[in-house]
Every structure is written in C-alpha cells, then in structure tokens.
Structure 1
Amino acid sequence: MAVWIQAQQLQGDALHQMQSLYGQHFPIEVRHYLAQWIEGQLWDSVELENPQEELKAKRLLDSLVQELQKKAEHQVGEDGFLLKIKLGHYASQLKSTYDRCPLELVRCIKHILHTEKRLCYKMLFRSGGGGTLDSLSQRHQQINQAFEELRVAMQETENELRKLQHNQEYFIIQYQENLHIQAQLNNLSAVPAEERAQRETSLQAKRATLETWLTREANTMQKYRLDLAEKHQQSLVQLRKQQTLILDEELIQWKRRQQLAGNGGPSEGGLDVLQSWCEKLADLIWQNRQQIQRAKHLTQQLPLPGPIEELLTKLNADITDIISALVTSTFIIEKQPPQVLKTQTKFAATVRLLVGGKLNVHMNPPQVKAVIVSEQQAKALLKNESTRNDSSGEILNNNCVMEYHRTTGTLSAHFRNMSLKRIKRSDRRGAESVTEEKFTVLFESQFSVGGNELVFHVKTLSLPVVVIVHGSQDNNATATVLWDNAFAEPGRVPFIVPDKVLWPQLCEALDMKYKAEMHSARGLSDDNLVFLAQKAFSSASVNPDDYRNMTMSWSQFNRESLPGRNFTFWQWFDGVMELMKKHLKPHWNDGAIMGFLNKQQAQDMLMSKPNGTFLLRFSDSEIGGITIAWVAENPNKRLVWNLMPYTTKDFTIRSLADRISDLNHLLYLYPDRPKDEVFSKYYTPPLSKAVGGYVKPQIKQVVPEFTTPNSETSTVNPTYMDQSPSPSVAHPNNFGIFPQINDPMMDADGEFDLEDTMDVARHVEELLRRPMANQWDSQPS
C-alpha cells in the first residue's frame, strides 16, 4: 500500500503517466480499494513465459475477484450502495476478461506496479528545481537499487538451479540407460554366436557413445555447480553489504533519533520504511538459503568429484549467520519506557520484531519478558558474560505475548501496565547521587523459524533509565537523562558519556529541550545563549565568541551550585522551563517574555524608554521565578523598579495577564507595544452578576505605592519592590531606627487623633497588614 500512497502524490506528467496505466483492462478503482492486497501478493514469482505457471496465475485471479466481492459486500449507506454495484461489476468484468488467460492479468499488474515504483522513485529522490539528489535520497535510492539487483541475481540463480536440476535428472536417466546396456552385454552369453557378435558390436558402440556423453556432461555439470556456487557467493557478499548498510547505518541512525527524541528532538519516524527493507532482506536471504540447500541436495543425489560439497556447506553456514544477525538486530524497542522511572508508578513500552511477519514467527507467538538491570549488568550482557539471570529490581506485569497485526504487518508486544515495585541500587562512586545512577530495561524472547530449523534467543536494552522514588528527584534525574541522550556515542560501553562537552553542543541540547517543552519553534536566541553562558561560567566579561571554544563539565552542569546560590545551573534552567510550561507558554510563543537577561541589562534597556514601559525577565536568585521590571518617575530621578518575583504558586492564584492588567502603571511592553494589545486576549472575563443574592469576590493584585492617580511621582517602599541592582539607584537614607511614618491618622508626635471620624479599628487592621521586614534586608532578584 506504501507505493499507492506515494503514487497518489504524483503531479504533472508523472500523474498522467500513472493514470494512463489504467482502463477497462484494469480499473483504477480496483487498484485503489485493493491497494494493500495487491501490493502484498508475489506477482514476481509467476514466470510469464512458463505455461505451467497458469494455475498459479489462475489462483491469483480468483483471489482478486473474491477480494473485490468482499469489499463490495462491506459497503453500506447511500454512497456505499453505488460503490457496491461498481465493485461487483468490476469483479465480473475482470473474471470474464482474464479467466482464459490469467497470465495476462499478472503481466498487467506487474507492469503497473513496476511503473508506479519508477515514477514514485523519481518523485521522492528528486530535489526541488535542480534535479540533483540530496544525501538522504541518494542513500535510499542506493538501497532500493541494491534490492533490485539482488532480486534479479536471485532470479538468475533460481533459473540456473532449475536448469541444473533438469540436466541432472536427464543425466541420471542416461546413466541408467548405460547400466542397462552393460546388463545387456553381460547377458549376451545366452545369445547364439552369429547374433551375439552383431549385437555386441552395436551395444559396445552405443555404450561408448553414451559413456563419452556422460563423461562430458559430468564435467559440464560440475562446472555448472561451481558457477552456481560462485553466484551464490557473490549474492552473499551483496546481501551482507546491504544488511550492513541497513542495520549498521539506517537502523543505528533511527535509534539515535529515538534517543534525541527523549530530549525533545524530532519524532524518530521511518520505522515502517526500515521494516520494509528488513523484510526484503529476510525474504532474499531465506530464498538464497533455500537455493543453497537445494543445490546441496542435488550434490548429494549425484556425487561428483570435486570440492563442491564443502563449498556449499560453507555457503550454508554463512547464509545462516547472516539471517541470524538480521533477526537478532531487528528485535527493537518501538516505544521506550520512560527514562525517569518512578517506583510504584504504571508505565508502558512496546517491542517489535521487524522481520516477524516475513518469517512467520507469529504462527507460534513468542513471549517477551522485561527485567530491569544495572549498568554493570548491561556491560556484562553486551560482552556475553553470564549475569546469572540477576535483575536489579522487580517489575510487575513484565511478560507479554507478541501479536501480529495484519493491517500494519507488524509483530509486536505491548507492555501496557508495567510497574517497578522495587529497585536494588549499587554502591555509588564518589560524588555520584542516586539520580546519576543508570539502569536499563532488558527485553528478551525466544522463537524458531523454518519449522524449528533455526532457534533464536533475542534481547534488546532500553535507553538508560534513572529510577526515582519521589517527585523531588525528577529535576536531577532529568539532567542525567538529558546529558546521556545528548552526548552518548553509538556503540558505547553502557552507559559511558563524556565528562566535558563544548558549550555549543550543550546549547544545542538545551535549545532542543526548551522548544519541546514550549511546543514551539521559538527556541533560545543567540542573546539567550550568551546570557546562559554568562550564568553557567559565572563570567559576564568574556567575549561572546569565546564561549564557542569553552567546555562545560557535568559537575558545572548539575553538581556544583552557582556562586552565591544554593542551586545548580541546570536546576535554575529547569525551573524556568517548568514555570513556562505550566503557566507562561502562550506568552513566550507570542514573544512577550524576554526572560533571559539580568537586572543591569533590563535597566539599560528600559531607561531610554517612556515611563510605564516594562519587560519580563527570569529571576536570577530564585528557581522558577519571573519578575516585572519597569521604568517610572521618582521625585528626584527616573528609576527602574523590579517587582518581587512570581512563581508557579502565584500563577495558580492569578494569571500573569491578569496581574499585568491590574497594574495600571504598566503601560507598554518593551519596546513600545501597548500592554492590552499583547495581553488582553488572556484576561479573565468580568465576573457575572450576583447569583442567588450573592456577589462573588475577585482577587486583584495591588502595588500600594503605584495605586494613586499620580503614580509616577510616588515613592516606592523596598519591602514591596527592589530597585537595588543598579549602582546608580540607591534607597533614600533613613537615619532613624525605624522607618518614618507618614500617616494622616496620626499627629506630629505619632499619637492617634481620636477626633478623626475614620473607623480606628479598620485603620489598625490596615497597619497590621503591612510587612514588618527591615527595609535594608536583601531582596530577591
């Protein structure tokens, strides 16, 4: 069906060529509604020039008609009624057209499929405009071309084998005739003398001629056998080369894409294409193996002098090794278990045998078992060292039977309800924490093919897994997984990763992860990455270009705390992603959040803008915090103010958009966008009218010093806001022990004026709500 899907995407002249293939002799509707069935039949196995193949072609015709009739019967509804009539008509039409010449139907369909494939290859492998092939298309074309060459070679050896068998059978008949002549000569003693001489001369001449022919034919057959063995040897070389290309390059690249997908990389995709290649390999290898065994059987039927039997024995061993490598390498994990695995939590995984359907493994469905093993046990497994069937934990529901899905042609086992009941940890090395310890899930199975002729024990390891017992460990476990996914090299010893990587390599991994968390194409800009480098290396004075050659170690990434902080670089970055993912993703995707800049950078940017201009940046001092910085007028000078950082807890109470809407002194999002233009679509709609006599209260954010009409000239209490980062901005000097109180309810001595008509109790309540922290306490950034 894959060819028909691609054929429907043809355009222009290629589309016209494809349409011209169809007509009354074979309607295009039949091709469309039976696409999967048509592409699943072995049309190439029918020899069009051999009349004896007519019976096979007749069976294909009858099956085609039956499939059309079944498809017609399943149509329902008004549209289905018309289609039912049409498909039934086509079934009768094909039956009457090809019933007396079924080989012509096979010829027609083979021509259609061959032409469609050729047109699709041209479409798939031609780059836009230039007509050249990119590297990926060239590689795929190379693989498909090699398959075609192998198919032709296999057909040639099949024809040679049949010819050899025919010649050998005729040779045996003639050899028996020679024995019969010898028997007649031995019986001449009973014949009268005058007749004996005549008959003996005739039989001797006949025997001499026949023995000469037998000698010549034996030499010819021996040469045929050697030539055929040589052709099989060449096919084996090509098969091994093709298998290496598919398994050691294409499949390894797919596994690498799957690993990067764990960091948010593009979906791995392409597994169905890989399976189609592996199935073609399996089919060709198995047919070659059968040919070699038939050749060996012919040799045993008629032994002739020479090394042919030993040569065929070696070929048989080689082809068995090739198919063994194919089967064991194509037992893969289609859906990986979660790489951060929490105990007592349900998880899933899927394993798949890419050649299972082709080798009919599903006829006796194998069972797959999953166990969790440590890094050391994984190393021993890859070295084929015995692990005494030990595991490092207990997985519930860890057995599953492989099922064959006819619609997709896949053989897979779906573990839907596994759970890690317990884990057994090993002794840790040095500063390694439990969230740096790596495990892996081992999947293994056993099955046979060819009527138990070959038995395979297959196993495959999952990507590294970090086991946690509490959600608080998730942050550090994710760091271990990210580093491993990003920097693991193909064919490594489990689970070795470099201790240091170049900063641009880490930037690529962080950007990939960030875009995946945001579900957005807007990742980390060059300026963002410079900011992150300055934070990671605790240096703002380094030239941005110098960061390209700097390396970052695992310890710097997630072991050592940042200077003056109690968290690591990764913990800070992961906190940002968590905040953005849960609450601020739309604003990031809208470009409303600058995020990655420090206080001084924010001040430099805002001081040249009108009062009320603001921006959003991530807090330097708090994990998962974001603050609003804005410029406003002070009685003496213009200042940049920084609101105390918001965290996830704050946004569960009131959203960022609503908080910005509440603050009337915020007018323009940097550089000059009116805030309502940016955030109004996210404002919470006004509350409805009272229901049942009750009015629902509403929470609003208030910054007291900026609530008066003349907010630009108000003084800011540093308890609420912090403008300390800039050296040019300082708090007013207070020489008293306590802050000066300017309150209209008190007289000059600080006593309450009881004659004031204001409710005193209410005023006291307001005073008690004010924070009591000392104004010189350090503020978050």
Structure 2
Amino acid sequence: MAMWIQAQQLQGEALHQMQALYGQHFPIEVRHYLAQWIESQLWDSVELDNPAEEAKAKRLLDNLVAELQRKAQLQGGEDGFLLKIKLGHYASQLKSTYDRCPLELVRCIKHILHSEQRLVQEATNASCGTGGQAMDTLSQRHQQINQAFEELRLATQETENELRKLQHSQEYFIIQYQENLRIQAQLSSLSSLPPAERTQRETTLQSKRATVEAWLTREASTLQKYRLDLSEQHQKTLGLLRKQQTLILDEELIQWKRRQQLAGNGGPHEGGLDVLQSWCEKLADLIWQNRQQIRRCEHLTQQLPLPGPMEELLSKLNSDITDIISALVTSTFIIEKQPPQVLKTQTKFAATVRLLVGGKLNVHMNPPQVKAIIVSEQQAKALLKNESTHSESSGEILNNNCVMEYHQATGTLSAHFRNMSLKRIKRSDRRGAESVTEEKFTVLFESQFSVGGNELVFHVKTLSLPVVVIVHGSQDNNATATVLWDNAFAEPGRVPFIVPDKVLWPQLCEALDMKYKAEMHSGRGLSEDNLVFLAQKAFTSSSNNPEDYHNMTISWAQFNRESLPGRNFTFWQWFDGVVELMKKHLKPHWNDGAILGFVNKQQAQDMLMSKPNGTFLLRFSDSEIGGITIAWVAENPNKPGERLVWNLLPYTTKDFSIRSLADRISDLNHLLFLYPDRPKDEVFAKYYTPPLSKAVDGYVKPQIKQVVPEFTTPNPEPSGGTPTFMDQTASPSVSHPNNFGVYPPMSDAMLDADGDFDLEDTMDVARHVEELLRRPMANQWSSQQS
C-alpha cells in the first residue's frame, strides 16, 4: 500500500501520467480500495509469455474478484450504498473482461505498478536531489525531452490556429470572388435595358466591381503571405521534430539497446521501455498532426491556386514529414525480448518484438504478421547496406510466424514467439583458427505495416543480438565466450558483427565482474585482489601491483583460443568453470565471504603459515576446470614439530552433488578456523545437513562421511560395547595409523604438500566411501534383525 500512498502525492504531469494508467480496463477505484492486497501479490512471478502460467494468472484474477466482492459487502450505511454497487459492478466487469485471458490482467497490473514506481522514483529524485549524479543527469535529460515536447505541442497548436485562420480567410476570399463574378454577369446582362437605366446601373456595378477587385487583389497578396508564413512555421516545427526524434531514437533508444545487450552479460535489466514508448507515441502524434496540417494546406492550395512557390514548398514539406514518420516507424520496431544468444538446435526458444508507436498509429486495426528467419553475419551486412532486398535464410526455424496483438491495458502492440525451434543451420566456410562457436548469426524479424488506411505502407526489419548456434551442450562454454566478448565490446552502429580483437585489461575486468555478480545474484563481485589474480593467470605474470595491468591489452586469442601455459584449457574456460561451480553449489558461501577462491598455492601457503594449526581456506584449483580445494596448515603427522600447508584433492560439481561443501568441512574435524580466525561452525553450521532420522521399518540408514586418513583416528566404542560409525576427530599431530577400521590403508597418497593432486593416480574420498558402503561391513555398523 506504501506505493499507492506515494502515488497519490504526485503532482503536475506525473499525476496526469499516473491517472492515464487507469480506465475501463482497470478502474482507479479498484487500485484505491484494494491497494494493500494488490501490492502484496507476486505479479512478477508470472511469466507472461508462458501459456502454462495461465492457471496461476486465473487464480490471481479469481482472488482479485473475490477481494472486490468482499470489500463491497463490507460497505454499509447510506454513504456506502453507492460504493457497494460500484465495487460489485467492477468485480463483474473484471471477471468478464479477463476470464478468457487472465494473463492480460497480470500484464496490465504489472505495467501499472512498474509505471507508478518509476513516477514516484522520478518525483522523489527531483524533490530531494538524491540519487547520485547519474540520476541527476537522467532527470535533466528527461526534463529536456519533456520541455521539447511542450514546445512542439505549442508550435503545432499555433500552426493549427494559423491554418484555421487561413482556411477562414480563403473561404471568405472565394465568396468575394464569386461576388465579383456575379457583378460581371450583371454587367453583361445590362445590354437588354433601356439606355438611361443601363447607364445608371452600369456606373453602380462598375464601382462595386472595382471595390471588390481591389479587395481581391489585396487579399490574394495577404493569402499568399499567410501561406508562406505558415509554410515557414511548418519548416521550423519539422526541424524541432527531427531534432527531438534524433535525441530519442539515436540516443535514448540506442542506449536502451546497449543496456539490453549488456544485460546479456549480467548487467542491470534494460528497463525504461515504457518511457521510450510514451515519447515515441508523443512523436507519432505530433508528426501525424503536422502531416495532416500540411495535407490540408495542399488541399487549400489546390482549391485556390495562386501564383508563387507554394506548390513546391508544400511538396517538400510533405516529403520531409513522410521521411520523419518513416524513420520513426522503422526505428521503433524493436526486439523487446531477445532470443537466447547461445542457441541450441532442436531446442525451444522464445522472443518478443514490439512496435513502440503501434497504438498511436492504429496499426492493430489491420494486424500485421511478423516473420523470423536466421541469417549469417555476411547476410546481415548485406541487409544493412541495402545490397540485398530479399532475405535469404541460413537455417530453418519452426513456428516462425506470429501476428502482432494489441494489449489495451498496456497500450502495447507486440508479437510473442513462444515456441520457436531451430531445426537446422547452414554454416559458412570458417577463416583460419575460427571455430563453430565463434561463428555469429542473427535472427531477423520482418513485417509490413500500413498506416492511415493504407495511405503509407512500411516494410520493417530488425536484427537480434548476435547468436552462436550449437548442436551439443559441450559447446556452450566456448559459445558463451563469443557472446560475452561481443556484448561487452560491440560499438553502437557497427558493421555486423565487428568487435575489437584486443581490449584493455580493465575493460575485460568490468565484463567479468558484471558476469560474476549476475551469476552470484549478489553485490559481492570481484575485488581488486581477485582481478590481480586473474591478470596473473591471463598474462602469466607474478606482479601483485594492479597498476601494472591497467594499460595492458588482452586479445581474443588469449581470452579463449590459446590454452594457458601447461594446461589444456583457456583462460575463459577456467573462469567459466569457476562461475558454474559457484552458481550451482557455492553461491551462499561466496556471498557470506567464506570463499577466498582467487588465491594461488603459494599465496595460500604464505597466508596460512602465520596462523594456528587447523586454520584453512578455500581456493579455486589451478589445474582443474571448476575445481575448489581446501588448503590448511597442520603439523606433519610423520614429522612432529614440522608444520606444512596441505591441499586437498579439488572438489568439482560431481562431488558436491554427493555431499555438500559445508558437510564435507564438518566431517573434517582437523579443520578448526576459517581464515583468518573464524570458527568453522560459526560460518558453516547453518548449512549442515540435519542428522539422519532413527531407524524406519526396522532398517538403519547409512550415511556418507569423508575422511582424510592422515588426519583421522577412530573413536572409542561407547558404553555397551556396540560399535558405531566412526566419527573423525582433529588429530594433526598423530601419525598415520596402520588400520582405519572400515577404511583400509590406501597405497595412493591422498595429500600433496607441494602441488595439486595427479587426478589419474588418486581417488576422490567421497567416491571411495561410496564404494566401501556397497561392501559387507561386518562389525562396523549398528545392526538390527530385519
């Protein structure tokens, strides 16, 4: 309800915009009396493009109607009688309007709530001057645009008034011209009169004719001047329209598209499309009004031809205004929801296109059809250079035709492609070392609109962001690299799909940080120390000074074509492996600050050797994609008095699907403090799996626990003599015992104090325990006769 309270305090233009959100599709009274209920519902959880969500939308509709009916029944007394009738009427109206299309109700309310939030935010920023310099700049720019619209409205109103004066003057001129013709006709008919009478009448008529002709001569000159002045005013208005349109289309819309592209890398969501639509609709309205005025001027000129350049001037004005409206229509045919940029064949995908001026120009009166095809980079270049008018396809997309629908509640005209699928793709010959995951395509959406009753017909096209087509999930990693590089470093207005081969290291850091934050769903991104670690890995450098990397450039080949020294994977493949591991299993721990991650082995050793035994940290493996290891400091079990830093065999996604990180750390009782000095239970206890329940149906459930043999001792049996599953205790100073009960001695070393494990010569502890659990375990488990 807090939002509605703030919305009611809006003033001026903001209040008018808020009021305009409501109407028969959703009465403002419903918003007022159900404010708290409306704001408490999870409208954003409904996916509007997913037909399967219709049942959820239907429940929301039914609940809304029920709330209205309940509210109506609560109204009592004389004052509440009319309100009771009105709310009951609204309940029936909403039920009948949206019962067959409940998703439209959700779309309507989401649009209203988001618009109210924007208006309140803008008003708050304007009144208190907060929100930072960026918000101040944004508000100033919006204010500049709104002021320009007010100037255009006044200029258009002025030319409308002048046009009416011209029309009135011309109509009076024509009447007087007809009067002159009547006088001439009378003079011609005087020959039949007697001479005396004829002379008297002739003198009177000639005097009258002279007066009228003198007036006509003066008025013709005045009309010509009116026409020229009006033409000049229209030229000025068109200049203002063109300037305003350039600002909105070439700056604001381009910036929105850039934000949309960065959103593909995890940047902020590309909001503001409703604001853009309102501006484009104002433009369309003003352009159309001026075009109609110019056409009326043409009609007046044809009705009363006068000597002068008016015909040429009006023809030029008509041509200019048609060019302006053509640019507006073709530029505002945009992709609201992009298709996935990594596109797998034989997989369903969706996209939404929208015409920002569709409602104002009544395009929906003759609903246009939109077609989607996939084209190559070379075909996209040819289309933008107008070298190809025929759109050839580089593949076959199923369900690639869709009719645009007008949503009255939001005033949007859009086409939702919900079930497209790329059946096949035709690839071009690749250059040099380029792989299939570096080849870019784009989805082309095209349609044809008629405006003003087929008076103007526009053929429109728009290209999606570049997509990389894959046929197997194993290609996703490299395809994502191509997309990230393109999204991060593409320049506005580029030739498809040119990107720099090299970029400054800080530019790439910004892109990596954006991606990482988005995947972690947290404000905790990559620190300066993290970025230095990544720079060391990318450039094979040992410098710890961030300044040393500020002017260095990294090439695409270094990013994801050439393997890192001594490894069989690239820089990006390693980084993406980390992101995937964190996203799937370790996100809470990263957001808690429990994972240092970007620390090499030597750094880990230096950090831990100054700490008490049992201190540990978590760092990403250098040798394995998507691996994380535990490094800890302890005494050497075989050499009392000697302290070493140990590194556990790296865990991967497969390991955490068996047992979580928190549970694994809980199992290892020799791990005491998370670096620098936090007790491990303080950090991880909230993530521990609860103890297993007691025996059910006469059976005891086994459990998996991991151990590190060098740091494990068996517990004594509890009183009563019944053996239990061994619990591990921290014993960093005890040497390796000869027998571990259920864990037989292992010939392969489980630990390595000097380097990462050789994956071919070792076995993961969890998998080893899992294998053991399948063997007979005499005297090692508490048992019960079944």
Pick the TM interval, shorter chain: 0.7 to 0.9
The Cα of 1:710 is off from its aligned counterpart by 7.0
Quote the residue 2:528 is aligned against: 526
| Aligned partner of 1:182 among 181, 184, 203 | 184
Deviation per CA, 1:631-682, whole angstroms, max 9, x where unpaired?
A: 1122131111111110111101100000000001011111111111111111
The Cα of 1:193 is off from its aligned counterpart by 1.7
Return closer, same or farther for 1:84/1:228 CA change in 2, 3 Å cut-off.
farther
Quote the residue 2:600 is aligned against: 598
Secondary structure in 2 aligned to 1:464? coil
Q: How does 1:594-743 map to 2 (within 5 A)?
A: 594-634=596-636, 635-708=640-713, 711-715=731-735, 719-725=749-755
Secondary structure in 2 aligned to 1:549? coil
Quote the residue 2:42 is aligned against: none
AA of the residue aligned to 1:270: G
**CA distance, structure 2, for counterparts of residue 682 and residue 613 of structure 1:** 20
The Cα of 1:362 is off from its aligned counterpart by 0.5
Secondary structure in 1 aligned to 2:706? coil
Deviation per CA, 1:715-769, whole angstroms, max 9, x where unpaired?
A: 479811111149xxxxxxxxxxxxxxxxxxxxxxxxxxxxxxxxxx999999xxx
Between structure 1 and structure 2, the one with the greater Rg is 1
| Aligned partner of 1:86 among 80, 83, 86 | 83
Secondary structure in 2 aligned to 1:714? coil
**CA distance, structure 2, for counterparts of residue 512 and residue 625 of structure 1:** 22
Quote the residue 1:286 is aligned against: 288
Quote the residue 1:269 is aligned against: 271
| Aligned partner of 2:160 among 145, 158, 161 | 158
**CA distance, structure 1, for counterparts of residue 708 and residue 663 of structure 2:** 14
Residue 259 of structure 1 contacts residue 463 of structure 1 at CA under 8 Å; is this kept in 2?
yes
Deviation per CA, 1:229-266, whole angstroms, max 9, x where unpaired?
A: 11111000000000000000000000000000000000
AA of the residue aligned to 2:676: P
Provide the aligned C-alpha RMSD in A: 3.0
Residue 241 of structure 2 contacts residue 287 of structure 2 at CA under 8 Å; is this kept in 1?
yes
Quote the residue 1:572 is aligned against: 574
**CA distance, structure 1, for counterparts of residue 549 and residue 407 of structure 2:** 52
Secondary structure in 2 aligned to 1:644? coil
Q: How does 1:24-173 map to 2 (within 5 A)?
A: 76-81=68-73, 82=75, 85-86=82-83, 123=124, 125-126=126-127, 128=129, 134-173=136-175
Deviation per CA, 1:557-609, whole angstroms, max 9, x where unpaired?
A: 00010000000000000000010011101100111000000111111111111
AA of the residue aligned to 1:612: G
**CA distance, structure 2, for counterparts of residue 478 and residue 332 of structure 1:** 24
Residue 347 of structure 1 contacts residue 417 of structure 1 at CA under 8 Å; is this kept in 2?
yes
**CA distance, structure 2, for counterparts of residue 489 and residue 552 of structure 1:** 18
Secondary structure in 1 aligned to 2:448? strand
**CA distance, structure 2, for counterparts of residue 34 and residue 178 of structure 1:** 65
Residue 226 of structure 1 contacts residue 308 of structure 1 at CA under 8 Å; is this kept in 2?
yes
**CA distance, structure 1, for counterparts of residue 15 and residue 141 of structure 2:** 25
Return closer, same or farther for 1:147/1:5 CA change in 2, 3 Å cut-off.
farther
2:220 corresponds to 1:218: yes
Listed as ranges, the gaps of 5+ residues in structure 1 are 23-28, 36-72, 91-116, 727-760, 767-781
**CA distance, structure 2, for counterparts of residue 605 and residue 131 of structure 1:** 39
**CA distance, structure 1, for counterparts of residue 777 and residue 520 of structure 2:** 47
Deviation per CA, 1:150-202, whole angstroms, max 9, x where unpaired?
A: 01111111111111111111111111111111111111111222222221111
**CA distance, structure 1, for counterparts of residue 654 and residue 238 of structure 2:** 65
Return closer, same or farther for 1:371/1:80 CA change in 2, 3 Å cut-off.
same
AA of the residue aligned to 1:639: L
AA of the residue aligned to 2:380: A
Residue 670 of structure 2 contacts residue 730 of structure 2 at CA under 8 Å; is this kept in 1?
no
| Aligned partner of 2:433 among 422, 431, 434 | 431
Residue 362 of structure 1 contacts residue 404 of structure 1 at CA under 8 Å; is this kept in 2?
yes
Secondary structure in 1 aligned to 2:550? helix
Quote the residue 1:49 is aligned against: none
Listed as ranges, the gaps of 5+ residues in structure 2 are 20-25, 33-64, 88-117, 714-728, 737-746, 757-774, 781-786
Quote the residue 1:451 is aligned against: 453
Give the TM-score taking structure 2 as reference length.
Answer: 0.80
Secondary structure in 2 aligned to 1:653? coil
Quote the residue 2:590 is aligned against: 588
Return closer, same or farther for 1:9/1:432 CA change in 2, 3 Å cut-off.
farther
**What is the percent sequence identity of the aligned residues?**
80
AA of the residue aligned to 2:468: V
**CA distance, structure 1, for counterparts of residue 177 and residue 66 of structure 2:** 61
Deviation per CA, 1:492-540, whole angstroms, max 9, x where unpaired?
A: 0000000000000000000000011111110000000000000010111
Return closer, same or farther for 1:6/1:539 CA change in 2, 3 Å cut-off.
farther
The Cα of 1:31 is off from its aligned counterpart by 6.3
Secondary structure in 2 aligned to 1:713? coil
**CA distance, structure 2, for counterparts of residue 462 and residue 765 of structure 1:** 66
Secondary structure in 1 aligned to 2:584? helix
Return closer, same or farther for 1:264/1:120 CA change in 2, 3 Å cut-off.
closer
Quote the residue 1:777 is aligned against: none
Quote the residue 2:235 is aligned against: 233
Quote the residue 1:351 is aligned against: 353
Count of matched residue pairs = 658
Residue 72 of structure 2 contacts residue 83 of structure 2 at CA under 8 Å; is this kept in 1?
no
Q: How does 1:246-325 map to 2 (within 5 A)?
A: 246-325=248-327
**CA distance, structure 2, for counterparts of residue 75 and residue 300 of structure 1:** 62
AA of the residue aligned to 1:666: L
Residue 129 of structure 2 contacts residue 136 of structure 2 at CA under 8 Å; is this kept in 1?
no
Q: Quick check: 701-710 or 488-497, which moved more?
A: 701-710
The Cα of 1:344 is off from its aligned counterpart by 0.4
**CA distance, structure 2, for counterparts of residue 320 and residue 605 of structure 1:** 70
Secondary structure in 1 aligned to 2:657? helix
Residue 398 of structure 2 contacts residue 423 of structure 2 at CA under 8 Å; is this kept in 1?
yes
Secondary structure in 2 aligned to 1:636? strand
Quote the residue 1:8 is aligned against: 7
The Cα of 1:389 is off from its aligned counterpart by 3.2
Residue 377 of structure 1 contacts residue 387 of structure 1 at CA under 8 Å; is this kept in 2?
no
AA of the residue aligned to 1:711: S
Return closer, same or farther for 1:672/1:406 CA change in 2, 3 Å cut-off.
same
**CA distance, structure 2, for counterparts of residue 474 and residue 127 of structure 1:** 47
Return closer, same or farther for 1:121/1:657 CA change in 2, 3 Å cut-off.
closer
Quote the residue 2:47 is aligned against: none
Residue 7 of structure 1 contacts residue 120 of structure 1 at CA under 8 Å; is this kept in 2?
no
Residue 532 of structure 2 contacts residue 544 of structure 2 at CA under 8 Å; is this kept in 1?
no
The Cα of 1:390 is off from its aligned counterpart by 1.7
Return closer, same or farther for 1:6/1:374 CA change in 2, 3 Å cut-off.
farther
Deviation per CA, 1:38-94, whole angstroms, max 9, x where unpaired?
A: xxxxxxxxxxxxxxxxxxxxxxxxxxxxxxxxxxx999423124377238689xxxx
Return closer, same or farther for 1:118/1:595 CA change in 2, 3 Å cut-off.
closer
The Cα of 1:544 is off from its aligned counterpart by 2.5
Secondary structure in 1 aligned to 2:339? coil
The Cα of 1:125 is off from its aligned counterpart by 3.7
**CA distance, structure 1, for counterparts of residue 668 and residue 132 of structure 2:** 59
The Cα of 1:34 is off from its aligned counterpart by 9.2
AA of the residue aligned to 2:733: T
**CA distance, structure 1, for counterparts of residue 779 and residue 654 of structure 2:** 26
**CA distance, structure 1, for counterparts of residue 473 and residue 601 of structure 2:** 32
Return closer, same or farther for 1:181/1:721 CA change in 2, 3 Å cut-off.
same
AA of the residue aligned to 1:181: I
